[in-house]
Structure formats: structure tokens, C-alpha cells
Structure 1
Amino acid sequence: MLKLISLKLVAALSILGLFAACATQPRHVDYTAFKQAQPRSILVLPPLNDTTDVKASEGTLSQMTKPLAEAGYYVIPVALMEKTFKQNGLSAPADIEQVSPARLREIFGADAVLFSKITQYGSVYRVVDSNTVVSASAKLVDLKSGDVLWQKTATASGKELGGVSVNAGGVIGALVQAAVKQVAHSLSDESHAVAGLTSERLLGAGPPDGLLYGPRSPKFGTD
């Protein structure tokens, strides 16, 4: 009986070990199309806002060009992009995304376009805790062929930036701390800072699943 239990325990631990190994495996990314296209310039479109916060798209867009530029790409200036679309009667991200790749290349002369979507933006109240979370996804599309070159999702939270600390014990203390943190998040617009961290995490270059380094980067061709 004892031997049977031991065998079952070993089998269970082996299965758990297998799951743990799978969980730590990096996400496989096929860079074949990316390497063939070798984009030099990127047009960043306003992110689709799938949240209830009206500031989500603008707050994230303002911080998306920095990691792309640091990765070695020329990024079409956001102000120029927005002005051009407004002159053509387009301002909503959903309408802008309907413009064909060929037309975008004709207007802006970019090699690739970045589509993105924000799925979470703002404070999340968990009864005994409060945190600011920003989640987004991005997809890079070649403007010559229309092929998807790369895509990724990323999330960041206010806990990674540090936060308000309230020294209070017990359940009542936890509730007070959560309420104070939620107010502090709103007053300081912590979402904007967290969106910056999400953008860095989402659009940064390098392994295991980031963008390939662009031609302006000293690391170009090393990945």
C-alpha cells in the first residue's frame, strides 16, 4: 500500500514539474516575416480603447513612440499623424484603423504600421486592496504586403511603481488603506505612469518576444 502511494506521489510530482516547465517556457515568436520585411520606419496609430476611461487612448499613445525609437526605428511624429487624419475627417481610432495599408503607405511613407488596443486602464478596487492596472496589445503590420510581422500583449501595475502606504491593522485597516490608495491613484493620475511602463514592456526590443532591433540601433542584426 505504501509503495503504491509513493508511486502515485512521484507521478503527481512529475506532472506538476512538467506543468512548471511549460509555464516557464518563453513564448515562441516567428520572426521570419519581420526579418524579410526589415522595416525602417513605423507609423503608430491611436490605440483602440476597450475600457471605460476616455483618457486611455491618448494617455498611452503619448508614450508609445519612445520605446520604438529606442529600439532603432524612425517613428512618424504623433502630432503629424493626428493632424493628417483630422484634416481628412478622421479622429476616432476605430475609423482610422479602417484605412488600407496601401493608403497609409502612400500618405505617410512608412514601412510598417502599429495597431494597438488597450483592454484595461485605471484603478481596480479589490475590497481590501486597490491597484492601477494598464493592459494593452500591439500588432506590427507591413505596409507593402499587409503581412503581420509581430504581435504581443503586456500588462503593468501601480504596485511596480510603488504606492501609498497606510499603517493600519485588521480588516478595517485594509479597507481604509484600499480607499486611500484609490483616491491617491485618481488624484495623481497614476494610470499615465503605469501606461508608460506598459508601453516599455510591450514595445521594447530584444528577446524573448520583443521587437527586432531597428536599423538605427547599434544592436541591429544581432537578434
Structure 2
Amino acid sequence: MKRFLSTIGIGLSLLFLGGCASGNLDIYRDQNMDFGAVRTVAVLPFANLTRDNTSSERVRDVFTTMLLATGGVYALPPGEVARGVIRTGVANAAAPSVEEAVKLGGVLKVDALITGVVREYGEVRSSTSTANVISLSMQMVETQTGRVVWTATATEGGIGVTDRLFGGGGRPMNEITEKAVNEIINKLF
């Protein structure tokens, strides 16, 4: 009986201790970074890991617009960012090196760069059901040191229980894109 009670006690202790873990696993914020000092950012072209060739441009456009709408920071227009990338000779604008990030920050006169990866975008199928899905990751690079100071991920859409039971095509792509981008922005602020 004692062994049984001690086993239950240990099990309950592990259960409660597991519930004490803090923080999101899909977000990183550098504790030494003063995010209030970031006033101007450059949103670089996003990497595209999907079959849709224009998905990264669409998501970048939605992200930049929603970021500007917050009023928290100013995002440079895409043409200015492209001009800075060409002027500095950044080899891969979606993933600049530390030196390239510092150099690009100086040329564009921004406090931070935001890069991103669109991992999934579009329709997914399972049996007779289809739905739209988006999955993205973004990071902020401070331009004085080239350090990554924030990173977050978001996934929206997919095939839910109601889609499996009743069919249907899920939510529209623009709706889940806006929801995923809004989730990312909320993790930034």
C-alpha cells in the first residue's frame, strides 16, 4: 500500500511540476534587448519553402501592412529595402549574414531587420476533405550587432473536425494568412 501511495504521489508531483513550465516554445525574446528602442525596421524578402512561387511575397505584403497598422514601428517600403539590398550586395536577402545585417542596417538606417520563412501555404488534402493552411517563422535581427533578438512561429488553418465530418474547404486563404500574421505580431509586441 505504501509503494502504491508513493507511486501515485510521485506521479502527481511530476504532473504538477510539468504544469509549472513557463514560456512559449514557439517564441524567443532576447532578455537584454530593449524592444522599445526599435522604431524603424526593414522587412526583407521572405524565404519560400512552398510550391506557390508568390506566397512569400503575399505574406510579406500582409505582414508589412499589419505591422504598420499597429503604429508601433515604421517599416520601410519594399522598394527602399530592395535598393539597400542591391547597394550592399547581400547574397541572400532572406537570410543575411551577421556582417551583411550590420551593413544593411547602416545603409537603410533601420534599428532592426525582419526576416521570415513561409513553410506552408495553400491547400492541404486528407481523404475527401480539403482546407487552406499557412505556417511561417519570423525573426528580428538587431542591426548594431547582427544578433537575432526575437523569433516566432505561427500556423493557421488546416483540416478540422467539422471539415472531416461535413466536408467543405475550410477558411479562405486571406483570412488564415491575416490570422497567422496577427499572431506573429502579437508575439512581437
Same fold by TM-score greater than 0.5 = yes
Partner of 2:130: 130
Cα deviation digits, residues 103-145 of structure 1 (max 9, x gap): 4234422221101111121222232643322111111112222
Partner of 2:19: 20
The unaligned stretches of length 5 or more in structure 1 are 167-172, 205-209, 213-223
Q: 1:8 to 1:106 in 2, by over 3 A?
A: closer
Residue type of the alignment partner of 1:211? L
Partner of 1:38: 37
CA distance in 2 between partners of 1:192 and 1:85 (Å):
29
Residue type of the alignment partner of 1:104? L
Higher relative contact order (CA 8 A, sep 6+): 1
Q: 1:95 to 1:129 in 2, by over 3 A?
A: same
The unaligned stretches of length 5 or more in structure 2 are none
Q: 2:169 aligns with which of 181, 190, 207?
A: 181
Cα deviation digits, residues 52-80 of structure 1 (max 9, x gap): 22232012011112342215111101244
Superposed displacement of residue 101, structure 1: 2.1
Superposed displacement of residue 197, structure 1: 1.2
Q: Which has the higher strand share?
A: 2
The alignment covers a number of residue pairs equal to 180
Q: Which entry has the higher C-alpha Rg, 1 or 2?
A: 1
Q: 1:202 to 1:71 in 2, by over 3 A?
A: farther
Superposed displacement of residue 38, structure 1: 1.9
CA distance in 2 between partners of 1:132 and 1:17 (Å):
37
Paired residues of 1:158 and 1:194 also in contact (CA < 8 A):
no
Paired residues of 1:59 and 1:195 also in contact (CA < 8 A):
no
Q: 1:29 to 1:192 in 2, by over 3 A?
A: same
Match of 1:137, SS? strand
CA distance in 1 between partners of 2:109 and 2:128 (Å):
51
Backbone CA RMSD of aligned residues: 3.3
